[in-house]
Every structure is written in C-alpha cells, then in structure tokens.
Amino acid sequence: MNRALQAELLRLFGYACLGSLLAAPFDAPLVGLCLGLLGFIWHHLWYAAALLRWLDAPKKYELPDGVGVWRDIYTGSYDRWKQGKKRKRQLRAIVSEFRASTAALPDAAVVLDADGCISWFNEAATSLLELEGSRDRGIRISHLIRHPEFAAYLASDDTDKTGIEIAGPAESGRILWIRVIAYGQGQKLLIARDVTKMKQLEQSRRDFVANASHELRTPLTVLRGYLDMMAQEAESDDVAVQAGDKRHDDGLAPWHAPLQEMRRQASRMQKIIADLLKLANLEASSRHASDELVDIPALIGASLEEAMVLSDGQHELVAHVDETLNLRGNQAELHSIISNLLSNALRYTPPQGKIEIYWENRRNGALLRVCDTGIGIAPTDLPRLTERFYRADTARSRETGGTGLGLAIVKHALERHEGQLKIHSQLGQGSEFACQFPSARTLTRDALAKAG
C-alpha cells in the first residue's frame, strides 16, 4: 500500500482514539468515536476545498502545504499545472510563428472545414481572393469564388492533383492558380497563387514564336521557289556540261549537289515552321476543341493511304477499325494526331516491319492505338518525348525529315479533346502510342441513328 495512504489510516485511527479518550470521562466512548471520525472528515474536506479554490483560480490563490495524502495531491496538481502552462506557452509560440510565416507567404492559404466553409485564412487571401475577416469567416467558399470550373474542381475527388486556373475577383484582372489539398477528417487547405505575370510571359513567348515563324515563312517560300528554279536550270546545265566535257566525276555539274542540299534544308525549315505555326494555333485556340462530328474511320483510311505512299511498300500496314465509331471534335486536329503517329511509326520502323492501327470502343471511351515493330524507345526518354524538339534518336529523326514537334502537336491536340496520350515501348521491340478519348466525345453509329 502507498505510504501516504498508510499514514492516512494511522491518522484515522488517531482521530478515533483521541475522540474516544476525550469522551471517556463522560462515559460516552461511542459519541467520542463519532466526533473523532467527524474531525477526520472535516480535516479532508478543508484540504479538498482549498484544492478546489486553487483549481478555480490558480493565479489568485496559493496552495497550502498540505499534509499526508494531500501533500502528494497538491504537489502532483501543481506540477501538472506548471507543465500545462509551459506547453500552452510553447503552443502559443508555434501558432504565432505559423501565423507570421503564413502572413509572409505571397500565396493565399484558406482552411476549409468539412462543409467547405472558411475557418481561417492568411493575409494574402485578403488581397488575392478579397476575403474579409469578420465578414467571410464561416461562409462557404463556393459562395465567394463563384466560378463553375472551381465548383466542379472542389466537388471532384481529384483535388490533390494539379489544380486549376481561374480568373481572379472581377476588378483585379488577375489569373489565379488554385489547388485544394484534403487533410484530417474532411478538412481542406486551399492555396491560391497569382500567376498573371507567368501567364503574360508565356503568352509573349508564344506570340514571339508564332510571329517569328510567320515572318520567316514568306522569305523562305521565296528562297525555296528560287532554289527549285535553279535546280531545274541546273538539270539542263548538267546536260550542257556533259556535252562540253566539263563534268564532275559523277557526270553532274559542280553546283548540282550543293543545290540539292540547299533545297533539302529549305524544305526542312519549311516543315519546322509549318509545325511551329500549327502548335502556335493549337495554343492560341480555346481550351476545348470544337465538337463537329468527325468520321474517324474515313480519316484513318485517308491517313493510311498517305502512309502507304510514304512507306513505298516497305512496311506491312494493317488497320483494325470499328467502322461504327466516330468522334466529336476538330477534323484537322484529329487528322494531325493520326498522321503524326503513323508517320512516326513508319520513320522509326525499319523496312519489312509491321505497323498496326486500332480504333476501338472501350468502356471508358474510344481508344486509338498505333503499334509498330520498330526501334523502340529507352525508358529514360519516354517521359520527355512530347517536349518540343526532344528527340530520342536525333540522327534518325533528322535523316527521315523529322521536326521534333510531332508528338508535341499530338499531345496538345489530344488535350483539346480531353484525351490522354500513353506510350509503351521497349528498345528494339517496338512501340505503342495510345490515345484515349473520353466517352463524352465518342459517338457510335447507333447513337447517331437514334439522335436522328
């Protein structure tokens, strides 16, 4: 048994004996015993009352020293109170440090409860989102940021992903990037960043590339025209040179080879410029492609014919096409996707290789796949293939007339159709380029007939 409790039992015995002894001369030992017990109870009540009074206002009252079990209770309570005070002080310091650091953040941070109502926000939120302390705390964030895209993003489960860009509060003219991160039990942290400057820079970069490409196109067409004309004249010169016996070893005029090289390089530049302009157009267009009805089987047929001309009978080309499946989208962009993938498959597949194109209806939408048995792609190159001018095999790309922009165009055009590009490949084994289109854009012949 605890020593303090043993002492209390002794004290109880002492009180009882003292009461009985004091009452003995009056011949009432029982009354004396009761009075002794009452004294014992009063002793404890007095210490309990002192504890309660101190607990109520620990700064105002002092704890008495206490005896017996009360000494232990008092020291224990005092120590705990002291520890609590210290912890509170530490917490207060952490909270004020957190407040100071979030106040210094240039990004707006808003804490939302499980119902999407604002429970806290930092300084930056007052300027970026135009929130006001007393007015907006406790209000649903969707009532304050009235943007259909934001409402859809907040309601969706993929809030932890990339975030969205929306126009800031009306007057500000800002563009905000918003990301919502779920934590705890249904709470969310909303981060908003001002990306106006970055967007402006991006826009001026895009404008620069588009303008430069546009400006270069006309002089290059003129140059190409003259080169073609000179090449024609050179051909007749070749004949003349041969007749005059001033021929090269190969029997051609000395300017024949440089002229051909100049024509080849000029046509490469024309292709690069055409692709840069195509990309610029894709970027300048609205986020979503139009939704005109596009006959994909016919488009695949036309692209296959072009591919056959390019292949010149060197590859086996096979199509597995669901003839009833169509898409809503932009015909030129969809054609660009198919022809770029087919042209890549041809250019990176050695002669006698096989190229297959699949067009199928899947549960989650339509799937276009272009598979080849070509040179394949190393795993380290896969994530970077859709970057502009990124080439896994630079020599082969240039040799076969590649611009390094084909897959960037495919990715952009797909994004405008809410589609996704997935690439599977193994070096030396071949590659598969899969374009997934959402169900909302697919249209079967049956659905078309029903729609009337």
Our CB check for ligand ADP shows the closer of 330 and 343 to be 343
Name the percent of the chain in helix, strand, coil, to the closest 5: 55, 20, 25
CB of 260 to ligand ADP, least distance (A): 22
Our CB check for ligand ADP shows the closer of 112 and 377 to be 377
Question: Please, where are the H alpha helices in 348-444?
Answer: 394-399, 406-416
Measured CA to CA, the distance from residue 267 to residue 169 in angstroms comes to 49
| Cβ(385)–Cβ(397) below 8 Å | no
State how beta strands 354-362 and 316-321 pair: parallel
| 422: Cβ contacts below 8 Å, ≥ 6 apart | 433, 434, 436
Our CB check for ligand ADP shows the closer of 326 and 340 to be 340
Our CB check for ligand ADP shows the closer of 280 and 405 to be 405
Our CB check for ligand ADP shows the closer of 421 and 443 to be 421
Measured CA to CA, the distance from residue 390 to residue 381 in angstroms comes to 9
Measured CA to CA, the distance from residue 324 to residue 326 in angstroms comes to 7
CB of 350 to ligand ADP, least distance (A): 11
Residue 218 is inside which H or E element, if any? helix 196-244
CB of 423 to ligand ADP, least distance (A): 8
Task: Tell me if residue 334 falls in helix, strand or coil.
Answer: helix
Measured CA to CA, the distance from residue 401 to residue 396 in angstroms comes to 8
Q: Compute CA distances 332 → 282, 289, 328, whole Å.
A: 11, 11, 12
Our CB check for ligand ADP shows the closer of 149 and 356 to be 356
CB of 128 to ligand ADP, least distance (A): 38
CB of 207 to ligand ADP, least distance (A): 23
Kindly report the backbone phi and psi dihedral angles of residue 228, in degrees, each rounded to the nearest multiple of 5, phi listed first: -65, -45
Q: Compute CA distances 153 → 171, 407, 408, 412, whole Å.
A: 23, 28, 26, 22
CB of 359 to ligand ADP, least distance (A): 18
Our CB check for ligand ADP shows the closer of 29 and 404 to be 404
CB of 404 to ligand ADP, least distance (A): 4
The two most distant CA atoms of the chain are separated, in Å, by 161
CB of 202 to ligand ADP, least distance (A): 21
Select from 368, 308, 290, 303 the least CA-distant residue to 335.
Answer: 303
Our CB check for ligand ADP shows the closer of 344 and 436 to be 344
Residues found near ligand ADP in the complex (CB under 6 A): 340, 344-345, 348, 372, 374-375, 377, 385, 391-393, 397, 402-408, 431
Q: Compute CA distances 339 → 13, 17, 333, 358, whole Å.
A: 104, 109, 10, 14
CB of 344 to ligand ADP, least distance (A): 3
Q: In what order do the strands lie in the sheet with 442-444?
A: 292-294, 325-329, 442-444
CB of 439 to ligand ADP, least distance (A): 27
